[in-house]
């Protein structure tokens, strides 16, 4: 029988707005290669790995690079991004996040981060939320990008809970697919039209609480 035991949060776009910094860094790289990256085009880069994002970017700009050059450009982007996120502070956490995590902790609901970012730990350190977390699964631990369910299945394993007993919060289509593929309850944190396959959609964590989560979980 299903039992609500854990919440797994994507980081970028769910807890903090690091998407702005990713876009700023990718756009800078595109500009240096002689083309532009629009905000609409940037949507394709959300929720996927750095190298996959670079491949999409190069496709947009119709640019071909060797594997060696790809690695070099991806590292340049990451250095810019890391410089941007090191300016982050606890005040950058989205409204409602800490209130929800406090409520989950009181009810002994386990909390994990499931982020494709290889910089997840840096962000967590900057915004000071590690005390809430019982597991952190990031891009350094996984070999398959979302929508593959590996990241969320690994988080469930580290939390020692069954996948079916987890709720996932995601802001990207690929993340919702990964959660669904893992057999978990998926909550989209974004515009409903972009995340129609989620079990439930909210605009932000300020719209949710433990009572609502239980209703979503047990009605699925």
Residues 154 and 85: beta-carbon distance below 8 Å: no
Residue 45 inside a domain? The answer is: yes
pLDDT of residue 49: 80
pLDDT at 120: 94
Name 145's Cβ contacts closer than 8 Å, sequence gap at least 6.
Answer: 48, 49, 52, 116, 174
Q: What is the CATH number of the domain that holds 52?
A: 1.10.150.240
Tokens found for residue 87: 């300016």
Task: Give pLDDT, residue 106.
Answer: 97
**1 occurs within a structural domain:** no
Look at residue 163 and tell me if it is in a domain.
yes
* Contact criterion met (CB below 8 Å) for 114 and 12: no
Residues 78 and 114 grouped into a single domain: no
Q: Is residue 131 part of a domain?
A: yes
Question: Does one domain contain both 44 and 111?
Answer: no
Q: Which two tokens stand for residue 40?
A: 């609409």
Residue 169 shares a structural domain with residue 117: yes
Task: Enumerate the active-site residues.
Answer: 10, 12
Count: domains in the chain: 2
Domain boundary among 44, 64, 85: 85
Residue 189 lies in a domain: yes
Q: Is 43 inside any structural domain?
A: yes
Domain boundary among 64, 85, 106: 85
Residues 72 and 123 in one domain: no
To which residue do tokens 């970017």 refer? 57
Residues 102 and 196 in one domain: yes
pTM of the model: 0.84
- pLDDT for residue 193 is more than 80: no
Looking at the fold, whether 46 and 111 belong to one and the same domain comes out as no
Residues 195 and 157 reside in one and the same domain: yes
Indicate whether 142 belongs to any domain: yes
Torsion of the alpha carbons at 97, 38, 30 and 124, rounded to the nearest 10: 0
DSSP states of 38-65: -HHHHGGGTTS-HHHHHHHHHHHHT---
pLDDT of residue 220: 72
Average pLDDT over residues 41-47: 86
**pLDDT classification of 46: cutoffs 50, 70, 90:** confident
Q: Which residue intervals of 62-165 are DSSP H helices? A: 67-85, 97-106, 120-127, 150-159
Instruction: Answer yes or no: is pLDDT of 5 > 80.
Output: yes
Q: What percent of the chain has pLDDT over 70?
A: 99
CA 65 and chain centroid, separation? 28
Domain CATH code at residue 182: 3.40.50.1000
Which pLDDT tens digit goes with each residue over 88-136? 999 999 999 999 999 999 999 999 999 988 889 999 999 999 999 999 9
Domain range for 24 is: 19-85
Q: Are residues 13 and 96 in the same domain?
A: yes
Listed residues 35, 56, 85: the one ending a domain: 85
**Both 13 and 101 in a single domain?**
yes
Under 8 Å between Cβ of 15 and 208? no
Same domain flag for 107 and 201:
yes
pLDDT exceeds 90 at position 1: no
Residue 48's pLDDT band, with cuts at 50, 70 and 90, is confident
Please state the rounded mean pLDDT for residues 48-55: 90
Judge if 71 and 100 occupy the same domain.
no
* Contact between 199 and 181 (Cβ < 8 Å): no
Do 67 and 99 fall into the same domain? Answer: no
């Amino acid at each position: 029988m299903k039992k609500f035991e854990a919440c797994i949060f994507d980081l970028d776009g769910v807890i903090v707005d690091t998407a702005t910094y990713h876009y700023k860094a990718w756009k800078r790289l595109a500009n240096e290669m002689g083309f532009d990256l629009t905000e609409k085009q940037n949507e394709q880069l959300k929720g996927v790995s750095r190298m996959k994002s670079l491949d999409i970017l190069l496709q947009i700009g119709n640019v071909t690079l060797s594997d060696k050059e790809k690695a070099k450009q991806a590292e340049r982007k990451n250095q810019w991004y890391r410089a941007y996120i090191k300016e982050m502070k606890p005040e950058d956490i989205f409204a409602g996040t800490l209130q929800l995590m406090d409520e989950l902790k009181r009810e002994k609901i386990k909390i994990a981060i499931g982020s494709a970012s290889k910089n997840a730990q840096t962000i967590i350190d900057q915004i000071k939320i590690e005390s809430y977390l019982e597991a952190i699964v990031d891009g350094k631990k996984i070999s398959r990008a979302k929508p593959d369910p590996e990241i969320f299945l690994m988080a469930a394993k580290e939390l020692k809970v069954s996948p079916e007993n987890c709720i996932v919060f995601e802001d990207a289509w690929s993340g919702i697919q990964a959660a669904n593929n893992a057999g978990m309850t998926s909550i989209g944190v974004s515009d409903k039209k972009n995340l129609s396959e989620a079990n439930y959609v909210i605009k932000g964590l300020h719209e949710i609480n433990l009572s609502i989560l239980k209703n979503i979980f047990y009605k699925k």
